[in-house]
Copies of this chain bind each other. A is one copy, B any other.
Amino acid sequence: MEKNKTILLGHGSGGRMSHELTEQLFLKYFGRPDDGFLTDAALLEPEGNLLAFTTDSFVVDPVFFPGGDIGKLAVCGTVNDLCVAGASPAYLTAGFIIEEGFPLSQLETIVKSMALCASEAGVKIIAGDTKVVHKHKCDKIFINTSGIGILERRYAHLSKGTHITPGDKIIINGFLADHGLTVMTAREALSIRYNGTSDCAPLNHLIRCAMDAGDIHFMRDATRGGLAAIVTELVDRKTFGIELHENKIPLRENTKGLCEMLGFDPLQIANEGKVMMVVASSDAEKIVAAMQKHPYGKDSCIIGEITDQHPGTAVLNTIIGGKRIIDMPAGELLPRIC
Contact = CB atoms under 8 A, between A and B. Distances in A.
Nearest to A26: B128
Contacts of A57: 95-97, 129, 131, 144
Contacts of A51: 46, 51, 148
Contacts of A124: 30-31
Contact of A138 (B58, B104, B142): B142
Interface stretch (A2-10, A168-176, A234-242, A267-275): A2-10
Interface size class of A (residues with CB under 8 A): 35 or more
Interface in A100-124: 100-105, 107-108, 111-112, 114-115, 118, 124
Given A25-B108, A98-B7, A102-B7, A148 B335 contact: no
A154 interface: no
Interface SS of chain A? mixed
Tell me how many chains of this kind the complex includes.
2
A8 B137 CA distance: 13
A126 B33 CA distance: 7
Interface of A: 1-13, 18, 21-22, 25-26, 28-31, 33, 41-42, 44, 46-49, 51, 53-59, 61, 90-91, 93-105, 107-108, 111-112, 114-115, 118, 124-134, 136-139, 142, 144, 146, 148, 150, 332, 335-336, 338
